[in-house]
Amino acid sequence: MVQSRSVSAGSGGTVLRRLLTDPLGCFGLVLVVALVVAAIGADWLSPWTPTALNVRQRLLPPDMTHLLGTDHLGRDILSRVLHGGRIALYVSIVSVSAALTLGCVLGMIAGYGPRWLENALILVFDAVRSFPTVLFALAVVTLVGPSLTTIMLIVVVTTTPIYGRIVRVQTLSLKAQEFVLAERAMGAGPIRVLAHHVLPNLIGPLLILASMEVPVVITIESGLSFLGLGVRPPTPSWGSILNDGYNFIRDTPWPVIAGGVPIVLTTLGFTFLGEALRDIFDPRLQREP
């Protein structure tokens, strides 16, 4: 039996050990784990109901009762930040997973299929990517209406071509390798070749790309919510927290800080984690010392 050559770095335990030896990778992993734990346990970690109003305690500074203070409606900011993290994580994971799956399938079809199909898919990819993401998002939200589903649809449509083009290039390179040619000579069909020999060699690069795409999606969701075109009130979102804080920044800076710091930490966490995974799965691209 002809065996394909995998670019994986080994078992999951090996990857974790190598990740923990990288200071930036370990720091990124801690930030990502903290975000996931905070999002999943938001109901238990939140000291108050995120939508509970108490106008008498509006714009309070941080204290032992409200660790991050309150907003202009007296809502506990810490509770809203925790539940906003759940929204951000949900949108990013669902959107990136859907775009990754669709882009992987279309990219392998483009790279392994006939030339006319490849050209047609490339034309579609280029057409979609020719639209600026922000303008495309504003146009779709204006036509369809703001909602979580709309945001996820925007992300899937705009990011699928990114994965598709990368997978296409990798598939074109892999299908000319000797182990793939030998498998085809033995009578293996396209589905078997793609599933057993091409896809396993794409997992590493795709995981790296997906990890770095998560903060981009979170920024898109937060930006649309900041503009009032994303998550609808009173559902908490980091973008809506920033918007509320911006309107009352002369009275208190805490809502802006509470809404902005999680976005920064999330971006740093996934970026450092993605760079560490890149070094593990493809040592040729390691950072310069």
What token pair was written down for 157?
């449509």
**What is the model's pLDDT at position 35?**
92
Q: In angstroms, how far apart are the furthest CA atoms of the chain? A: 77
Higher pLDDT, 48 or 22: 48
**Mean local confidence (pLDDT), 61-90:** 92
Count the neighbouring beta carbons within 10 Å of the beta carbon of residue 14.
12
**What is the model's pLDDT at position 202?**
82
Q: Is residue 275 very low, low, confident or very high in pLDDT (cuts 50, 70, 90)?
A: confident
**What is the model's pLDDT at position 11?**
55
* pLDDT exceeds 50 at position 47: yes
- Amino acid type, 254: W
User: Are the beta carbons of 70 and 117 closer than 8 angstroms?
Assistant: no
* pLDDT exceeds 80 at position 197: no
Buried-state track 40-64, b at ≥16 Cβ within 10 A, e below 16:
eebeeebebebeeeeeeebbbebee
- The CA distances from residue 268 to 26, 58, 66, 75, 213, in Å, are 12, 32, 26, 28, 12
CA angle 141, 146, 149 (to 5 degrees): 95
- The CA distances from residue 13 to 10, 18, 22, 207, in Å, are 8, 9, 15, 16
**What is the model's pLDDT at position 76?**
93
**What is the model's pLDDT at position 2?**
42
Supply the mean pLDDT for the chain: 84
- Using only C-alpha atoms, the chain has a radius of gyration, in whole angstroms, of 22
- Amino acid type, 118: E
Q: Which pLDDT tens digit goes with each residue over 243-258? A: 988 889 888 899 999 9
Q: Which pLDDT tens digit goes with each residue over 225-239? A: 888 888 888 889 999
Q: The domain 12-51+63-285 is classified under which CATH number: 3.40.190.10, 3.40.50.720, 1.10.3720.10, 3.40.50.800?
A: 1.10.3720.10
**Mean local confidence (pLDDT), 109-137:** 87
**What is the model's pLDDT at position 3?**
44
Q: Is residue 34 very low, low, confident or very high in pLDDT (cuts 50, 70, 90)?
A: very high
Alpha-carbon span 69 to 281, nearest angstrom: 43
